[in-house]
Amino acid sequence: MSPTNNIRLTKIRQHFPKNGLADVKGEVSKELQRLKPLLKPGSNIAVAVGSRGIRNIFLIVREVTDFIKANGAHPFIVPAMGSHGNAIAENQAQILSDYGISEETIGVPVRSSMEVIELPKGESPASVFIDKNAYQSDGIILINRIKPHTDYHGSYESGMVKMTVIGLGKEKQASAIHSYGVYGLAELIPVVAKEIIKTGKVLGGLAIVENAFDDTMIVSALRSDEFFEKEPTLLKAAKDNMPYIPADNIDLLIIGEMGKNLSGVGVDPNIIGRMKIYGQPEPDRPVVKSIIIADITKESHGNAIGVGLADVIPRSLFNKIDFPSTYTNGITSSFYERIKIPVIAETDRDAFNIALRGCGYIKKGEEKIVRIKNSLHLEELYVSDAVLEEIKDSGKIEIIERNVDLFSGSEFGRF
């Protein structure tokens, strides 16, 4: 297809349930009372916090640490994020700091280390590790979001069970689990979690579920002996409230930005319809012929895991990639397709022309094009006329603005 000079899209808004909590602080405070009997005065409590961009994470972490102090115990924070930050302790502390979580802001120490204790394997075929600082505490409280995983699907995906293993186990545990491929994630994480919970070190956690607007929808304080029973219900709530792209068949999907703060693999495969893991089925929808990823968030610190899910990227994104960080994360996971570099275009407009050409012949005016800001925020997006024609009568969208130019000069225009 010959290059297209002027592409006009329609900005639309999707209608998702607005079911976020009106008083997040109050709900967290109320839920934490369930963990009060587990706290002993004078005890040192490790609060495990991950690398995901969780809405209200600063408020929630501060509320948890204040609760621990109010009950006579002494909290400290440990990063629970596997191999993220190039598996360097200082980098993991910086990731938390970027979310506003530091000793200065929260008022408790942040003890970041990649040192681990190896625990008895028990029934696990894989080695079992846990953060040394956390293990030497008198108890651990996890803070994590429950969400569909980007690599596999099962009863326990992203959440308390996984953080107990991959998050607290640092790079060594992540490598041990990922060496078994998807089987390790889906089958061995619960096995290893049970061995860790047997130690009695994990007291419980605060599970968070977000809605389609990325707002806090549920907070649930769980004892560690409740993780396996209650997490699947919370996971179902997360799945039922995920945002989505309204079109099933797309020629060209333009993703404005990727980043570790948006998804574990930069862009959520559940949203964009691409998994790229050998032996794993691709999502049923949407079916996308060609994908452009245009930029990477500053919060990702150059970690571009997931860039391989795209077909084309502009050089401006390529120049921001921190390859050591990206490769550490990608090689630990063993899913190499996701860290392969797509075609590099000199400008956004070049990327568009290359990616659209890869879709094969399409009659002019019938291109099915969708542009999203990222895979997390999907309330507002842009669609071509061919897509709009398919979805306009669904009752789930409204038109905000017509005839929006896709480009501003050689770059993608405003979102």
Of 222, 240, 258, the one marking the end of a domain is 240
Q: Rounded mean pLDDT of the chain?
A: 94
| CATH number of the domain encompassing residue 188 | 3.40.50.11440
292 touches 355 (CB < 8 A): yes
Instruction: Give the pLDDT mean for 267-283.
Output: 92
Shared domain check, 398 and 262: yes
Q: What is the pLDDT of residues 224-252, one digit of tens each?
A: 999 999 999 999 999 999 999 999 999 99
Residues 182-226 have pLDDT tens digits of 899 999 999 999 999 999 999 999 999 999 999 999 999 999 999
Same-domain status, 103 and 249: no
- Structural domains in the chain (count): 2
Q: Are residues 146 and 97 in the same domain?
A: yes
| pTM for this entry | 0.88
Find the helix packing angle between 189-198 and 170-178, rounded to 10°.
140
pLDDT, residue 5, reads: 61
Instruction: Quote the crossing angle between the two packed helices 170-178 and 323-333, to the nearest 10°.
Output: 50
Q: Are residues 402 and 360 in the same domain?
A: yes
In a domain, 77, yes or no: yes
pLDDT for residue 1: 40
Of 214, 240, 266, the one marking the end of a domain is 240
pLDDT digits (tens, 9 = 90+) for 51-104: 878 999 999 999 999 999 999 999 999 999 998 888 999 999 999 999 999 999
Q: Residue 2 pLDDT > 50, yes or no?
A: no
- 314 and 380 together in one domain: yes
Classify residue 3: in a domain, yes or no: no
Residues above pLDDT 90, as percent of the chain: 88
Q: Domain of residue 352: give its range.
A: 8-16+244-412
Query: Which residue in 399, 258, 221 sits closest to 342, CA to CA?
Result: 258
User: In this structure, are 268 and 119 located in the same domain?
Assistant: no
Same domain (yes/no): 202, 303 = no
pLDDT for 3 equals 54
One domain, residues 194 and 250: no
3-state class (DSSP) for residue 216: strand
Check whether residue 205 and residue 291 sit in a common domain.
no
pLDDT band at 269 (very low <50, low <70, confident <90, very high): very high
Mean pLDDT of 38-59: 94
Is 229 a member of any domain? yes
d(CA 131, CA 112): 9
Contact of 100 with 81, CB cutoff 8 Å? no
* Domain termination residue (choose one: 197, 224, 240): 240
Are residues 222 and 279 located together in one domain of the fold?
no
Q: Are residues 265 and 236 in the same domain?
A: no
Establish if 97 belongs to a structural domain. Answer: yes
Is 80 exceeded by the pLDDT of residue 113?
yes
Q: 272 and 226, same structural domain?
A: no
Separation between Cα atoms, residue 156 and residue 162, nearest integer Å: 7
User: In this predicted structure, what is the pLDDT of residue 344?
Assistant: 98
pLDDT, average across residues 8-36? 97
Residue 383 inside a domain? The answer is yes
The DSSP secondary structure of 117-182, one letter per residue, reads EEEP-TT-SS-EEEEHHHHTSSEEEEEEE-B--SS--SSS-BSHHHIIIIITTHHHHHHHHHTTHH
Residue 258, in any domain of the structure: yes
Residue 223 in any domain: the answer is yes
pLDDT tens digits, one per residue of 131-176: 999 999 999 999 999 999 888 888 999 999 999 999 999 999 999 9
1 domain residue, yes or no: no
